Amino acid sequence: MDWQTIGTIGALIGVVASFGLTVRGQKQDRELSHNSASRAEAAARLTEGYTARVVEALETIAAAGTFTAPTAAPERVRWSMNNRTGSTYILENIGSATAWSVKVTGHKTLLGPDMLQDKDDIASGEAVTFRAAQTMATSDTTITVTWSTDPDDPANTTSVWQYPLPPGGSTR
């Protein structure tokens, strides 16, 4: 075998290897793009839900004819989720009511939430910490908090709050 044949075979092996790497890279890019689009769709669904609630509230106010501010706000649960450090998050009840039988869950492609403090009920001003992280395969970073507003009848008084994991800032 002469040097020209060896060079041609080497070049052919390089072209085949380059083609294989290109195909693999394109497959990974498609997968990353799909997961990114899925996360965007999940965020849009949350926004759509919040928008529907605002429209419903405005329609209720408009149907009443005149708006009168309530004298005392009813007690209710409100949540705040902040990134504490790295993949550790803090979920705080900033409302005026106690949340009973609290459960914190995430999408199946999300790592966690886990290491949740063993606390079923979260009173006003109390918080729990948990760990959660997204990977390149995560298609939805939404955290779902479910709780009951009635400690005596938790099955029939379930409320839901959903929000994507904050990247480092706070959400309210």
The per-residue pLDDT for range 145-155, each reduced to its tens digit, is 999 988 887 67
Domain made up of 79-171: CATH architecture: Sandwich (2.60)
Residue 172 pLDDT > 60, yes or no? no
The whole-chain average pLDDT of the chain stands at 83
Other Cβ atoms closer than 10 A to 45: 13
pLDDT for the residue 171: 47
Question: What is the reported pLDDT for 156?
Answer: 74
Q: Is the peptide bond before 151 cis (omega within 30 degrees of 0)?
A: no
Q: Which of 88, 133, 131, 137 is nearest to 109 (CA)?
A: 137
The predicted model scores a pTM of 0.63
CA dist 99 and 159 (Å) reads 9
R_g of the chain computed on alpha carbons: 25
Which tens digits make up the pLDDT trace of 33-77?
Answer: 777 777 777 777 777 777 877 878 777 777 777 666 666 778 899
**Is residue 113 within 8 Å of residue 130, measured between CB atoms?**
yes
Range 25-35 average pLDDT: 81
pLDDT at 78: 93
